[in-house]
Amino acid sequence: MTAFVLGYDVMCRAVRAVDREWMHERGLHTASMCANFGTTAVACRLLGLNAEQIRYALAFAGTQAAGLHTWREELEHVDKALARAGLPARNGVSAALWAQAGFTATPTIFEGSHNFIQSFSEKAQPTEITRDLGVRYEILDTSIKIYPAGQPIQATLNGYFTLVREHQLDGRDVHEVLVRLPQSQAQTVNDRLIPDTSCQHLLAVAMLDGNIDFQNSHDPQRMHDPEVLELKKRVRLVSDTELTKKFPEVRAAIIEITMSDGRHFQTYVDRLPGAPYNPLSAKEAESKFLSLSVPILGPDKSQAILESVRRLEAMINISELCTMLQKR
Which one is the CATH code of 151-269: 1.10.1060.10, 3.10.180.10, 3.30.1330.120, 3.40.640.10?
Answer: 3.30.1330.120
Question: Per-residue DSSP letters for 262-281?
Answer: S-EEEEEE-S-TTBTTBPPP
Is 0.75 surpassed by the pTM of this model?
Answer: yes
310, pLDDT greater than 70: yes
- Say if residues 16 and 44 touch (Cβ distance below 8 Å): no
Residue 212 burial class via C-beta count within 10 angstroms: exposed 0-12, middle 13-18, buried 19 and up: buried
Residue type, 190: N
* pLDDT cut 70: percent of the chain above it: 99
Q: What integer is the mean pLDDT of 302-309?
A: 94
Contacts of 317 (CB under 8 A, 6+ apart): none
Rounded Cα distance between 189 and 20, Å, is 22
Query: Does 253 have pLDDT greater than 90?
Result: yes
CB burial of residue 294 (10 Å; 0-12, 13-18, 19+) = middle
What is the domain partition of the chain in residue ranges? 2-141, 151-269, 282-324
CB atoms inside a 10 Å sphere around CB 24: 13
DSSP 68: B
The architecture (CATH level 2) of 2-141 comes to Orthogonal Bundle (1.10)
The tens digit of pLDDT for each residue in 174-210 reads 999 999 999 999 998 999 888 999 999 999 999 999 9
- The values of phi and psi at residue 20, to 5°, are -65, -40
Q: What is the mean pLDDT of residues 100-127?
A: 91
299-310 vs 282-297: helix axis angle to the nearest 10? 140
Residue 135 pLDDT level (bands cut at 50, 70, 90):
very high
pLDDT band at 77 (very low <50, low <70, confident <90, very high): low
Cβ count within 10 A of residue 23 = 20
**pLDDT over 90 at 322, yes or no:** no
How far is the C-alpha of 69 from the C-alpha of 84, rounded, in Å? 11
pLDDT of residue 76: 67
Q: What angle do CA 151, 137, 148 make, to 5 degrees?
A: 20
Task: Give me the mean pLDDT over the 232-256 stretch.
Answer: 95
DSSP 148: S
Mean pLDDT along residues 113-125: 89
Q: Is 150 helix (H, G, I), strand (E, B) or coil?
A: coil
The reported pLDDT for the residue numbered 128 is: 93
For the chain, how many residues are written?
Answer: 328
Beta strands in the chain (DSSP E): 174-181, 235-239, 253-259, 264-269
Q: Is the pLDDT of residue 130 over 70?
A: yes
